[in-house]
Structure 1
Amino acid sequence: MHESVGTNGRVDLDMRYVACQVGTMLVDLTLHQEGALVERWHPKGLEVLRHTAAHVLAQAVKRLYPDTQVTIGPVIEEGFYYDFLTDRSFQPSDLLRIEAEMHQIVSENLPIQRSEWSEAQAISYFLNRNEPFKAQIIRDLPKEGALFIYTQGEFIDLCRGPHCPSTGYLKDAFKLLRVSGAYWRGDAKGQPLQRIYGTAWAEKKDLEAYLYRIEEAEKRDHRKIGKAMDLYHFQDLAPGCIFWHPYGWRLHLLLQEYIRERLGGDYREVNTPQLVSRSLWQASGHWDQYHENMFVLGDLGNEFALKPMNCPCHVQIFNQGTKSYKELPLRFSEFGSCHRNEPSGALSGLMRARNFVQDDAHIFCTPEQISSETQKFCHLLHSVYSDLGFHDVLVRFATRPEKRLGDDTLWDQAEESLKEGAEKSHLNYTLHPGEGAFYGPKLEFTLKDSLGRLWQCGTLQVDFVLPGRLGAFYVDSGGKQKPTVMLHRAILGSFERFMGIMLEHYSGKLPLWLAPVQLVICSISEKAENYSLQVLERFKNAGFRVELDCRNEKISNKIRHHSLRKVGCIGILGLKEASQDSVNLRIGQNEEVMTISDAIDRLKEVIFKKSIL
């Protein structure tokens, strides 16, 4: 008998369900009478809708441009794409035409049917249809397992499925977004292709909400905001590396100082070299897994790498001198500058750079201390996120993968201790079996921003492999030498990426306690300049980051200029204010005249409470 997955009380029974879940597998609704029904609003249901939308996109392109060759069309986060080979250069007008044809296909409500073909039959069919990419995909598939073909009207495609029962299930809740260049199988030396991106949702109102979010996201792009606030820039002299301007570096340092303060005396701050011998990366295992993403210097046999992470270096500090169980847990923190040789096409402003600083720390402890250390970290992490204005935090608990190091007894202990710590921390987590690291289970913390977007930032990873590889041992109460457990943990992750997230979350209007400039004093005329200088000093002496604008400009122009700079507080001073020892304090769109003392007290209270203006 069917059960439902994702029941939400909606009553559109005709197209409410889009697939069926049998065990852990999603299957076509039309092929199974057993299992759990998957609703279109459920995340798994959305994947099915988007997968179907990709096929409808390919069908529309083939109808309009028959000589086009189709390649692959997967589901991606919040949407889908399909790659095509064609002599035509797709333009925005083409996307409108293709989208209109997609709506026509949806209105035809074509049944989507799955069949199983032999490899020879499928290769022959696609070659005869001038679809060599599909034939190549089939040749490269594992020989065992079924080969599924999906048919909707005149369009036939190779696919693992599942799909909606018919094209009509898409309704009018989809849209094509953009076209970009791509390469066959992601290889820059491969055949250049054109990629059309789209999105699909359960209902039109969900689509409209998404389109609003991406419109807002474009307005809030941290690269635009960073320029308006004069925070930083990039240039080809150092691709993927940031030239920090005074205001941007001030924000960077403010975040560092805040994290340093929150760590307090529980962590010992360290600093480790940027350039480290290849021998350490080989011993840690990173060289085999990661060296293509490292910047390497020197000749073979005498090679060094700019560190892409800090953990092996922290082990070197731990290894200086014998450690007793009485000294554990031992916590090392570092604002470690790391370099990773990211592909140029993957660089994305602050969100993905080649040089970045992490709020990195490693906790060396005994297996029995994993639970208590987890609780301490989770409490700290949620407190920090709350201070920074992020209150909606999703947590993933990833357990042992199929390919892993260490025996099952050790894994049992690590997972049980991490679970105990998570539950005592009252974490509402989702379990993700098999998605842990090869060296241990982990917690991943994902923030939801003001636009509803998700950003994975924090992590706590249990590692009982690296300490053994690098000889990190402690002496237990019986005098025996035992390998320590190493907890990799970060709250912000990359400072640069987190700053980008914050700039977009707040649309540049940062909380006053973090703002590079907390207040700008603007004089209305030259006659108020002396008073403005006195007020400037009073705010400086009170500890504010304050600037003075006495330019010979209209006050309306000054206000507009500093508003575009995202300055949250503007103090307006004229002769009237000078006669009353007051300031016209503008916070956002609100203005209030108050004494200088009251203004100082008001802003200090906002800063102390870490309030949002």
Structure 2
Amino acid sequence: MSEQRPASAAPAPRVVVTAGTTAGAAVREAGLPGKGPDAVVVVRDPNGQLRDLSWSPEADVEVEAVAADTDDGRGVIRHSCAHVLAQAVQQQFPDAKLGIGPPVKDGFYYDFDVDKPFTPEDLQALEKRMKQIIKGAQRFSRRVVPSVDDAKKELAAEPYKLELVDIKSSDNTVDTSEVMEVGAGELTIYDNLDPRSGEQVWGDLCRGPHVPTTKHIPAFKLTRVAAAYWRGSEHNPQLQRIYGTAWESNEALDRHLELLAEAERRDHRKLGAELDLFSFPDEIGPGLAVWHPKGGIIRRAMEDYSRRRHEEADYEFVYTPHVTKGQLFETSGHLQWYKDGMYPGIHMDAEHDAEGNVRKPGQDYYLKPMNCPMHMMIFKSRGRSYRELPLRLFEFGTVYRYEKSGVVHGLTRSRGFTQDDSHIFCAPDQLADELTNLLQFVVGLLTDYGLTDFTADLSTRPEKFVGEPESWTVAEAALEQALKSAGLPYKIDAGAGAFYAPKIDIHVTDAIGRAWQLSTLQVDLQFGDRFDLEFQDSDGERKRPWIIHRALFGSIERFFGILTEHYAGAFPAWLAPVQVVGIPIADEHAEHLRGVAKSLRAKGIRVEVDTGDDRMQKKIRNHTTQKVPFMLLAGGKDVEAGAVSFRFRDGTQVNGVPVDRAVAAIDEWITRRENASPSADAFTF
């Protein structure tokens, strides 16, 4: 939901910083903005590193001015705001110990070790204190700490900071958020200085950069509190994490908060309960959904249409078990690569003699985290000819992954989910055409569900990889050509491929501007060798197939959650669990609507007649709340005329439509899978 400058925005201005002067002086001399949403807050040096405006180079250098209303500018504002938050917390709670406080998408957080969790009242008090700090125009001042010992002496009261210093001094790996604290080179502390006396008010171990003063944080809001384990490990202390957001203007903050409010209204977990679609019973466990009848109808409609489209595209349907011997995942590499994300093994098949001694040792079985290895075994089950290629295997295969409880998030991050998984086996000379056709198929099918705004990332060979560089080059070129042929806007994510394969990730933007990562296409350079897969080519030689992994929805559950939020629960009529509801004005009109319902059911349309005790207006409200796309009302005049009156979700109405024309119009709307919500303006009877 981040606000970004349009792609057509002018290039960032560049200025020359003269040796011995500061970047801020060069910016001012160039007449660039120092206030407002486009104020310059940092600069980018020729190496791509962001620098404070107080930075003074040793030689003349041309830099790029970075404005507040850019992604990098916002990141600096947010990290600076995290420092203000930490200062406020330690003023309000003097015994609080500091964790880390990085910027994140659309905001920031800071972790604290405190005696008791923060309350909503605490957040209000902290916001008030932060506003006072910001108003005070404290200056952010970078200071290099001469040595690790000096850093430890200064940070003696901050155990978590000391741990980060130890990690840095021992050359151990730190994650992205921790780099914000210790950096990749020298140790630095940012002091907050009083603008009049120049004395230190507060300081924090940090790589930076920061805005020049706290006054350059024009708009912020603390949003929530959550528990978080130090460095993300459940073996470490649990801290209190305060989340917030900060923007270049109050207007930008207000837009963001409106989007947050809209996102909350659209939250699929909330709508799932309100619309009786699915639930997560505690008795079953976190991240394991049960689908209620209405949710099951939508899911079945999604799956049925997907199956139909796959059949038309010459996919062959397969089914595989939910559990397998561990050896299969040793061959695939999943046990080595992903064991921490897999459920523990189930030890079975041991045989014992009468004395209880082991006659035959048992072995571990695992719930499958992926379908890939089983599809490899289907290909390998018999000899294959080039005439069978490309062989496209497809499965709605349920998999299980052990997501940590703090990561589980409704249907979009669950522990059990069903992938619409496909593995395509092709000859090397078929790869380019197959990828092009596949990408067009993926985009076309997603568009059929009402998603139309796509971008893609092409992730290329990392530093550490398996296989031959030449094969990687061929695979990457084929993936990029497929993107060009499909007309998808994309960017190269250099070095971000898995160590065994390059890939395309497709992102879709939903109705309120949020980007979701959906489909993945991956050219596999490893499984052919790992599973010893072969086909006999036209020249009689045995050759390795190239393998394309493809999950189109990602998972049924996640896609369902995304669609729920995209449509705010008002699913297109072709997917809606109840497509039509008949509402009689009085009991004597119900029989007329039952006849209409019979005609609709004959066309496969899901219809109900509400003969409950509620008054008509309350029935209309109830079914509008349940987001039924078509409501058909009938009173005495409608019965006499053999007609019905349409009522739509948006409150519009069309009266006196002959039954045969009403049935035909509804059937035509649903049959063509119209994704817009029906309204009076869309129909001419």
TM-score (ref. length: structure 2): 0.85
In 2, are the aligned partners of 1:7 and 1:39 still within 8 Å (CA)?
no
- The structure 2 residue matched to 1:438, chosen from 496, 499, 502, is 499
Q: C-alpha distance in 1, partners of 2:493/2:191?
A: 34
**How many equivalent pairs are there?**
607
Name the structure 2 match of 1:245. Answer: 292
* Residue 176 to residue 191, structure 1, CA distance change in 2 (3 Å): same
Code of the aligned partner of 1:84: F
Name the structure 2 match of 1:595. Answer: 658
Name the structure 2 match of 1:286. Answer: 334
SS in structure 1 of the partner of residue 62 of structure 2 = coil
In 2, are the aligned partners of 1:525 and 1:552 still within 8 Å (CA)?
no
Code of the aligned partner of 1:17: V
* Residue 578 to residue 462, structure 1, CA distance change in 2 (3 Å): same
Q: C-alpha distance in 2, partners of 1:227/1:8?
A: 47
Name the structure 2 match of 1:138. Answer: 165
1:25 matched to 2:49: yes
In 2, are the aligned partners of 1:364 and 1:485 still within 8 Å (CA)?
yes
Q: C-alpha distance in 2, partners of 1:70/1:320?
A: 58
Q: C-alpha distance in 1, partners of 2:98/2:322?
A: 46
Q: C-alpha distance in 2, partners of 1:368/1:200?
A: 51
Code of the aligned partner of 1:504: E
- The structure 2 residue matched to 1:526, chosen from 576, 582, 587, is 587
Greater gyration radius:
2
> Shift in Å at residue 113 of structure 1?
2.0
Deviation by residue 1:242-301 (Cα, 9 ceiling, x = unmatched): 221111111111111111111124211111111111000000000011123223212585
Alignment of 1:71-110 (within 5 A): 71-110=99-138
SS in structure 2 of the partner of residue 256 of structure 1 = helix
Name the structure 1 match of 2:34. Answer: 14
In 2, are the aligned partners of 1:254 and 1:514 still within 8 Å (CA)?
yes
In 1, are the aligned partners of 2:32 and 2:40 still within 8 Å (CA)?
no
Alignment of 1:62-461 (within 5 A): 62-117=90-145, 118-127=147-156, 130-143=157-170, 145-153=185-193, 154-171=201-218, 173-239=219-285, 240-263=287-310, 264-295=312-343, 296-299=345-348, 301-461=362-522
Q: C-alpha distance in 2, partners of 1:169/1:265?
A: 56
Deviation by residue 1:348-372 (Cα, 9 ceiling, x = unmatched): 2111221111111111123332221
The worse-fitting range, judged by mean Cα deviation, of 111-120 and 366-375 is: 366-375
Deviation by residue 1:457-478 (Cα, 9 ceiling, x = unmatched): 1111111112211112223343
* Residue 419 to residue 507, structure 1, CA distance change in 2 (3 Å): same
SS in structure 2 of the partner of residue 141 of structure 1 = helix
* Residue 227 to residue 461, structure 1, CA distance change in 2 (3 Å): same
Q: C-alpha distance in 1, partners of 2:42/2:376?
A: 49
Q: Which runs of 5+ in 1 are unaligned?
A: none
SS in structure 1 of the partner of residue 223 of structure 2 = strand
In 1, are the aligned partners of 2:139 and 2:192 still within 8 Å (CA)?
yes
> Shift in Å at residue 483 of structure 1?
2.0
- The structure 2 residue matched to 1:542, chosen from 603, 607, 627, is 603
Q: Which runs of 5+ in 2 are unaligned?
A: 1-6, 14-30, 172-184, 194-200, 349-360, 678-685
In 1, are the aligned partners of 2:220 and 2:245 still within 8 Å (CA)?
yes
In 1, are the aligned partners of 2:12 and 2:64 still within 8 Å (CA)?
no
> Shift in Å at residue 114 of structure 1?
1.8
> Shift in Å at residue 335 of structure 1?
0.5
Q: C-alpha distance in 1, partners of 2:237/2:342?
A: 27
> Shift in Å at residue 88 of structure 1?
4.5
In 2, are the aligned partners of 1:396 and 1:444 still within 8 Å (CA)?
yes
* Residue 520 to residue 446, structure 1, CA distance change in 2 (3 Å): same
Q: C-alpha distance in 1, partners of 2:133/2:425?
A: 60
> Shift in Å at residue 186 of structure 1?
2.1
* Residue 485 to residue 18, structure 1, CA distance change in 2 (3 Å): farther
* Residue 241 to residue 137, structure 1, CA distance change in 2 (3 Å): same
> Shift in Å at residue 37 of structure 1?
2.5
Q: CA RMSD, aligned part only?
A: 2.0
The worse-fitting range, judged by mean Cα deviation, of 356-365 and 30-39 is: 30-39
* Residue 273 to residue 89, structure 1, CA distance change in 2 (3 Å): closer
TM-score (ref. length: structure 1): 0.95
The worse-fitting range, judged by mean Cα deviation, of 7-16 and 86-95 is: 7-16
SS in structure 1 of the partner of residue 363 of structure 2 = coil
Q: C-alpha distance in 1, partners of 2:590/2:471?
A: 71
Code of the aligned partner of 1:120: D
- The structure 2 residue matched to 1:499, chosen from 540, 556, 560, is 560
* Residue 550 to residue 459, structure 1, CA distance change in 2 (3 Å): same
